[in-house]
């Protein structure tokens, strides 16, 4: 890679390469001489000189009040670029790692029957005591879902005095036993089919999506998304019947 390209990639001002080359070829030079020999306007010359000196691509000496500019060896420029490239690569790697860690912390992917158990465990763990969580449920086989629940799920849920609002399809919802802390409303048959065999749970600062067809579960921790889903759920719930 040539020196001009390196300087451009390092973000040096326009004409920096020309100024450096002029000093290297004819220096040491006074600033006025650099302007004359490079045929570059004085303000642009001084901007380039300042940047080149900051990167130590040029240095100065004095003869009384006169300041002369000298060009450093080209190896310094290539070494600086190599170091900057390495640093940038490290930063990209670090950003990628931080992004991966963020996603690992904020988005959890699970699979299998155990994933369903962990999703309901997560509801109990991250719903504050005495609060309400929200459930969309279109499961086709309620008994099968119940078998995948944690063994102490209901005991822990009731121990925290958690209430729940449920939006269900009539086939599934009416299989559930009446409970004081559970309130179910139904998607009408004449509106749309609600039998995708999917469960969505909204609780605390989290959302869980459970695909009972493939037994894949996604848990997302994001307060804004959870609050957004709660608003939608409540609006829909108010407009549905409990019959």
Residue 106 in this model has a pLDDT that exceeds 90: no
Q: How many helices (H) and strands (E) does the chain have?
A: 10, 9
pLDDT confidence tier of residue 184, bands split at 50, 70 and 90: confident
Packing angle of the helix pair 31-38, 16-26 (nearest 10 deg): 110
- Range with the lowest mean pLDDT among 35-49, 88-102, 194-208, 209-223? 88-102
pLDDT at residue 214, as a whole number:
93
Residues 44-65 pLDDT 10s: 999 999 999 999 999 999 999 9
How far apart, in whole angstroms, are the C-alpha atoms of residue 39 and residue 45? Answer: 9
pLDDT at residue 81, as a whole number:
82
How far apart, in whole angstroms, are the C-alpha atoms of residue 81 and residue 20? Answer: 16
Residue 103 in this model has a pLDDT that exceeds 90: no
- Backbone phi and psi for residue 125, each to the nearest 5 degrees, phi listed first: -70, -35
Please give the domain boundaries of the chain with CATH numbers for all domains.
3-76 (1.10.10.10), 112-238 (3.30.870.10)
pLDDT at residue 101, as a whole number:
56
pLDDT at residue 30, as a whole number:
95
pLDDT at residue 68, as a whole number:
96
How far apart, in whole angstroms, are the C-alpha atoms of residue 27 and residue 43? Answer: 20
Residue 100 in this model has a pLDDT that exceeds 70: no
Q: DSSP labels for 136-181?
A: EE--S-HHHHHHHS-TTHHHHHHHTT-EEEEEE-HHHHTTSPP-TT
Sequence-ordered list of residues with C-beta below 8 angstroms from that of 128, at least 6 positions apart, any chain: 204
pLDDT confidence tier of residue 97, bands split at 50, 70 and 90: low
Sequence-ordered list of residues with C-beta below 8 angstroms from that of 163, at least 6 positions apart, any chain: 131, 132, 133, 181, 182, 183
- Quote the percentage of the chain above a pLDDT of 90: 54
Residue 188 in this model has a pLDDT that exceeds 90: no
Question: Average per-residue pLDDT in the chain?
Answer: 86
Residue 87 in this model has a pLDDT that exceeds 60: yes
pLDDT at residue 16, as a whole number:
94
- Quote the percentage of the chain above a pLDDT of 70: 87
Residue 92 in this model has a pLDDT that exceeds 80: no
pLDDT at residue 181, as a whole number:
45
pLDDT confidence tier of residue 82, bands split at 50, 70 and 90: confident
Exposed/middle/buried for residue 213 (C-beta within 10 Å: 0-12, 13-18, 19+): exposed
Residues 126-183 pLDDT 10s: 999 999 999 999 888 888 998 999 888 989 999 999 999 999 887 665 555 555 445 8
């Amino acid at each position: 890679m040539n020196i001009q390209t390196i300087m451009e990639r390092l973000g040096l001002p326009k004409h920096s390469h020309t100024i450096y080359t002029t000093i290297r070829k004819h220096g040491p030079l006074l600033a006025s001489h650099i302007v004359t020999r490079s045929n570059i306007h004085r303000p642009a010359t001084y901007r380039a000189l300042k940047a080149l000196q900051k990167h130590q691509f040029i240095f100065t000496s004095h003869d009384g009040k006169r300041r002369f500019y000298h060009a450093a060896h080209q190896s310094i420029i290539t070494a600086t670029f190599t170091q900057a490239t390495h640093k940038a690569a490290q930063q990209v790697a670090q950003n990628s790692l931080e992004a991966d860690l963020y996603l690992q912390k904020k988005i959890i992917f699970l699979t299998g029957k155990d994933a369903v158990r962990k999703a309901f465990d997560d509801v109990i763990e991250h719903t504050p005591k005495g609060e309400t969580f929200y459930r969309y449920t279109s499961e086709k086989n309620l008994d099968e879902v119940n078998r995948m629940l944690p063994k102490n799920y209901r005991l822990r849920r009731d121990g925290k005095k958690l209430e729940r609002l449920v939006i269900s399809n009539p086939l599934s919802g009416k299989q559930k036993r009446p409970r004081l802390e559970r309130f179910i409303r139904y998607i009408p048959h004449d509106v749309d089919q609600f039998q995708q065999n999917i469960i969505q749970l909204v609780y605390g600062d989290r959302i869980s999506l459970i695909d009972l067809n493939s037994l894949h579960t996604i848990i997302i921790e994001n307060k804004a998304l959870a609050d957004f889903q709660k608003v939608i759920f409540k609006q829909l719930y108010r407009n549905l019947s409990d019959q």
